[in-house]
Structures are given as structure tokens and as C-alpha cells.
Amino acid sequence: MNRQSVEVSPQELDLHLEGAEHEKIKSKTLSREQAIGLPSVYANVELISNVISNLEVKLYKELEGSVEEVKGDKRIDLLNDSPNSLMSGDELKKAMVRDYLLDGACYVYMCGQGYSKDRWSLYYIPTTDISLLYSPDIIFKTVTISIQGQNFNPDNFIICTKNTVDGVKGKGIVVECNNILKQALDNMNYTTQTMGNGGVKRGVLQSTRRLTAEAIGELKKAWKRLYEQNNDCIVLNEGITYHELQQTGAEMQMIESKNAIDADICRLFNVPVNLFNSTIPEDVWDAFVKLAIMPIVNKFEKAINKA
């Protein structure tokens, strides 16, 4: 069997040993941190999570064929006001929505016994700290939730999942829409690089005569200052000409597709594109509530009732 040898430069080897990523070997999958760093993703997640976190959770009961609101219940205080000694109710609900949208699942541990508020508390658990241990049975499967080496019963959690097949693990936008998020990241990186160059287009210098090493060094320094957005200008000596490089097709398409990508990301969250305009028509807001807010609220309602 023929084997092809791959040459690795000392610089690439150093990057491997240091744990850094190289452009040729970096992961092709966009991470959650990279996704939330995209302005369009951040804006949509913030919008939806802020709206839902400010909604008040209420408890109702059926009594002789009618539905009445239950007031003064300690469980309502946990969800709305103080789930534990560190977080507020708004912060808990916002963290749950963010995990639900990005990772497809959110987990809240219920700790305590009885109905006394002093004995009960709710603790938000990041999805990165959750490990799911499945039984081998395909039909009558059971799941154990492991957190830092400790095993817990799923019944001790409020679990809300999106696009799930087992009720405990879901798929969020980071997994299901990774390709379009990578396009948005590439677009943002290109824009950042262009702005970092002060908008100066790429080009090459051509000299009719051979330059000395000192002259080349000074020319490089002047060119670097120009690309670092300094106000210096470059005076080219006789015999040196500048030739501007044309933008590649990929670069031109990337610039033109920015608005289209932002619109696609809004659609991923079921958010109307024109919702971020200065003036929001009433029908646009109604569509936002119906398409983006209510499905998540209904999911949270069922998850809380089940717990």
C-alpha cells in the first residue's frame, strides 16, 4: 500500500504543540461561541430571550369545570423571582431560552422537598456540563444525567428540548444550521480584515530596476503604515508603479450576500426580517409573537408541567 508523506513546517508543529489552531487544520464546525459572536445571531437570541424572560409564569387549576389562577404558590415565586440564592427568575429563564435556541436543550435542576420555598431551589445547568448516559435498550430506553461525575435521575430536572428524538437531547441552530452560520462568519471576518486595512485594496509594486535591501525594507514599512489606517501617504520613486489587484469572484459575492445571510438567519429564528427596523408595524410584531415566541413558551409550559 502506497503512503503519501505530509510535510509539516516547524511553525505548524509549534502550533500543534501549543494547542493553537492553524488555518489548514482548524475545525470545520462552527462552535457555539463563534455562533453567538455573529451580530445577527446575537441580536435574534437577545430579542427572543429578553421577551420570554420578562413573561410572568402563572399557575392555574381546574375547579368544577372552570379554570382559576392559583396565587401565592411557592413554586411561582421560584420561577419568577428567586430560583436560588444567586440568580433571579429573569436570568434563569433567559439562560434557558439561550440554550434552547443554540443547543436545542436546556436543563434546570430541582433541589428540595415538600412545598416550602425555603426547602426548594432551581439551579440552571449549562449544556456543556451535561452528559447523557443511555441504556442499550432501543425501545424501553432509560437515561441517566451525569454532571461532574455525579449521576442524576431526569425526573429531578426541568428539561426542554428542540428537535428531539428521545426527550432529553435536542438539536439547536448551531448544529442544524452550521453551514449558513459559517458563511456569516466568513463574511464577517472578511469585512473585519478589509476595515483593518483601512479599505485599501490589495495590489503589487513593480520596479524597473533592482532595489537594495534597505529600499525594500523602507517601502514595506511605509506600505504597512498605509494598511494600518495611518494617515501617511506613500511617494513612489521613479521606476516604481502600483498595480491594483482585482477582487476575486468569491470576495465580490461575499460582500453582496451579507444582507441575504442576515435575512436567512432571521428566518432560522422565525423572526421577521423587518422587525429590526426603527418602525415596527403591528402585524409584523404579531407575526413575531406567533412564530418565534409562542412555540417556545408552549414548549416551556409543557416542560414545567411535566417536571
- Pick the residue with more confidence: 152 or 28? 152
Residues 99 and 160: beta-carbon distance below 8 Å: no
Cα–Cα distance for residue pair 275/285, rounded to 1 Å = 7
**CB neighbours of 215 closer than 8 A, spacing ≥ 6?**
none
- Rounded to an integer, the average pLDDT of 94-108 is 95
Cα–Cα distance for residue pair 173/30, rounded to 1 Å = 11
AA letter at 270: N
- How does pLDDT run across 248-305, given as a tens digit for each residue? 555 556 666 777 888 889 999 999 988 887 677 888 889 999 999 999 999 999 999 8
User: What's the predicted TM-score (pTM) here?
Assistant: 0.71
- How does pLDDT run across 162-213, given as a tens digit for each residue? 999 888 999 999 999 998 888 888 888 777 766 555 555 666 666 666 767 7
User: 296 to each of 26, 105, 123, 302, how far by Cα in Å?
Assistant: 34, 11, 20, 10
Q: For residue 251, what pLDDT is reported?
A: 58
Q: For residue 23, what pLDDT is reported?
A: 46
Cα–Cα distance for residue pair 187/39, rounded to 1 Å = 12
Cell of 303: 416542560
Cell of 31: 462552535
Burial code (b: 16+ CB inside 10 Å, e: under 16) for 262-297 equals bebbbebbbbbeebeeeeeeeeeeeebeeebbeebe
Band (8; pLDDT cuts 50, 70, 90): very low
